[in-house]
Every structure is written in C-alpha cells, then in structure tokens.
Amino acid sequence: MASEQHNAQRRTPVTIHDVARDAGVSVGTVSKALNDRGQLRPDTRARVRATAAILGFLPNELAQSLHRKRSFTVGIITSDRFGRFSIPLLEGIEDALDPARIAVFLCKPTDDLELERRHVDSLLAKRVDGIIVTSRRTDPRRPLDLGGASLPVVYAYAQSEDPAAACLLPDDEGGGALAGAHFARLGRRRIAHITGPERFAAVRERRVGLARALADAGLVLDDQLVLSGSWSEEWGREAAERLLDIGRPFDAIFCGSDQIARGVADTLRDRGVHVPEDLAIVGYDNWEIVAAATRPPLTTIDPCLDELGRLAATRLLGMIDANDGQRAAATRVPCRLVVRASCGGGAE
C-alpha cells in the first residue's frame, strides 16, 4: 500500500462517515462491507473497500473493542529483569499472537507483588483479553492476584502454586536426561555434575534426569562428583578446581548452565586438561553468545524457550476463544540437544 494512500491524521482521522460519504452509502453499509457481515451486493462491498483504502481509513479498534467486548490485547507480566529468558519467550509469544492480530502490553519487570498488583489493575483497566506470566525461575510462585476478576492466565517458564493453573515449563528432567544419554552414547562412564543452587526446582529436576539416563545406560551418578553452587562463571571455575583436586576419576561434566560451563572450560584450559579429549562438557541454556564463544564451543541443552512462548500464547488464545476459565495442569515442553565441539562426536 503506497504511503500516499494513508491519510490517518492524528487529530483528524478519517472516519467511517467520510468513507460512507465518498462511497455514497450509509454508515451501516460501510460497517457491513468492512466487517464482511450482512447482505450486500458484491460491487457495493468492493466500492466501499476501495474507498476505505483510498482514504486510508483505519478502523478505530478502541471503538471496536468496546463493541465486541474484546480488546485484542494481551498483557505480559515478568519478573525477569535481565531478559535472558524472557526475550526468547517474548519472541515465541509474539510469533503466535501477531497472526491473530493481538497486541502485547509489556509491563515493567518486577519481583515486587505490590507493583505486580498495580500492573494487573492497569491491564484490567485496559480490558486485556488475557495475561501471560513469565519468570526467571520455574519454581511455584503465588498465583497472579486478579482481585476477583476472571481472566485467562497462562504461566510461561513460570509455575503457579495453584495446581489447576495453565503452566508451560521446560522439561528440565528431560534436559538432564538428554545430557546423560549423550555422554553414555559417546562412551563416557564417570559423569560429574556442576550446577546451580539446590533450592531451584530446575537444579533438582535436571539432576534426576541425568541420573535416570545414566542408570538406563548401566551407569551410576556418583554423589561425590555433584557440586551445587551459584549460576555463575566464577562458580564454574571454582567447582572445576575442586573436582580436579578431589582425585576421583571422571571423564565428563554436565553443567547446569552455559555460564557455569564457560567457567569450567576456562579452568580446564588453565590446568592443561583437554576438552573434549580428556573431558567432555555439556552446558545448559544454549545461550548462543556464551555457548558459541567458549573454547571449545559448547554442546548444550536448549530449553526451546521460543517454542515454549509460542505454545503458551497458543494456549492463551484457546482459553480466550473458549471464553471461559478453561484450565489445564502444567505442561512440560521438551528440550533439545545442540551439538557443538565440547563432547567431540556428532549428533546421534
């Protein structure tokens, strides 16, 4: 559409009355023609549409929203200040909402329940059709306080304490299992695990998955080789030093994040340990900017957050269309193994 055809001056927008006058029809006919409703002669419909296009008529969605009791907007509430996890999620969410012509209100990220409550009030006042809640961790959180309002809510990379809430979570146990199975397939036998704080559900679940996959391959996860700490490179470096000094043999390390893996790889390099020849490493997150820059580049587990975002938005659309409080238990979205160089070998 050439920009000359647009005429949507802010203070004097083209109205439905202008279209009706120029097309020589009534306002009701314009409405029918543009909304594909009612009985109209095809040439009338075509004339109205052409006129609207020439005038650059933009339907006033605010007015339409009042009429339809739908605003075609969705609110996103997040506690992820850094955007590490919320950015790919957001991309997936918008991938799903964009074709449905639904716009996204993004609220200022916050951990503070009082501010979150104000965000909800603001979204309700905007008459959003639904809300997606995201987080920077997957542990159960207090249900979003809608103050008695009834509105579809989906938790994405977040979990509500309400067991009936619709939650989409990465399959962390499955992610741990992917790492264990990859090591086993490549002939690694003694797997160490350097991970984040035990209080994170994701830490416990990934470890369970790792142990399960190793058991499936006839291997045992040695508790002495499991070190929990923080989500940082520094912890990766410190834990790698400790592992090397314990004196127990191991030939692979599964790391709870790419940042931890980066620290581990740097320390192994400093200590003259060769990756992947002496030790294989698998990271977690597939955070490109870290995983690809590590020496060697990291084989890692991708939690597929963009896919998780798409699924969350799709579920929300379903709940909005069903026009009720339809709920579902938590759904786990599968992870994916991304093979780079830190384990040698190739994809399966």
Q: Within 13 A of 188's CA, how many CA atoms are on the CB side?
A: 31
Burial of 236 from C-beta contacts in 10 A (0-12 / 13-18 / 19+): buried
* Separation CA 69–CA 236 (nearest Å): 52
162 near a copy of itself (CB under 8 A): no
* Separation CA 90–CA 156 (nearest Å): 10
Look up residue 192 and give its amino acid: A
CB of 210 to a copy of itself, least distance (A): 25
91 near a copy of itself (CB under 8 A): yes
71 near a copy of itself (CB under 8 A): yes
* Separation CA 272–CA 255 (nearest Å): 19
Closer of 41 and 82 to a copy of itself (Cβ): 82
246 near a copy of itself (CB under 8 A): no
107 near a copy of itself (CB under 8 A): yes
Closer of 146 and 328 to a copy of itself (Cβ): 146
94 near a copy of itself (CB under 8 A): yes
- Nearest Cα to Cα of residue 95 among 285, 337, 303, 312: 312
26 near a copy of itself (CB under 8 A): no
326 near a copy of itself (CB under 8 A): no
Cβ neighbours for 211, distance < 8 A, ≥ 6 positions apart? 176, 180, 221
Bridge partners for 228 per DSSP: 195
**What is the token pair recorded at 181?**
């199975």
Asked if 302 contacts 335 with a C-beta cutoff of 8 angstroms, the reply is: yes
Cis check: omega of the bond before 296, within 30 degrees of 0: yes
CB of 146 to a copy of itself, least distance (A): 8
What is the three-class DSSP state of 268? Answer: helix
Measured in residues, the chain has a length of: 348
CB of 181 to a copy of itself, least distance (A): 30
Query: Which DSSP string do the residues of 82-133 spell out, in sequence order?
Result: S-TTHHHHHHHHHHHHTTTT-EEEEPPP---HHHHHHHHHHHHHTT-SEEEE
User: For a copy of itself, which residue of 149, 164, 220, 322 counts as binding (CB under 8 A)?
Assistant: 149
247 near a copy of itself (CB under 8 A): no
Cα 218 → chain centroid = 35
* Separation CA 285–CA 257 (nearest Å): 6
Cα torsion 240, 245, 248, 251 to 10°: value is: 40
151 near a copy of itself (CB under 8 A): yes
User: For a copy of itself, which residue of 109, 229, 283, 309 counts as binding (CB under 8 A)?
Assistant: 109
- The interface with a copy of itself within residues 262-281 (CB under 8 A) comprises 262-263, 266, 269-270
User: For a copy of itself, which residue of 34, 54, 124, 328 counts as binding (CB under 8 A)?
Assistant: 124
Closer of 116 and 173 to a copy of itself (Cβ): 116
99 near a copy of itself (CB under 8 A): no
User: For a copy of itself, which residue of 26, 28, 46, 98 counts as binding (CB under 8 A)?
Assistant: 98
User: For a copy of itself, which residue of 24, 38, 83, 249 counts as binding (CB under 8 A)?
Assistant: 83
Asked if 300 contacts 144 with a C-beta cutoff of 8 angstroms, the reply is: no
Closer of 105 and 318 to a copy of itself (Cβ): 105
228 near a copy of itself (CB under 8 A): no
58 near a copy of itself (CB under 8 A): yes
Residues binding a copy of itself (CB under 8 A): 1, 3-11, 56, 58-63, 65-66, 69, 71, 73, 76, 81-83, 87, 90-91, 94-95, 98, 101, 103-109, 117, 121-127, 145-151, 232-234, 259, 262-263, 266, 269-270, 289, 293, 295
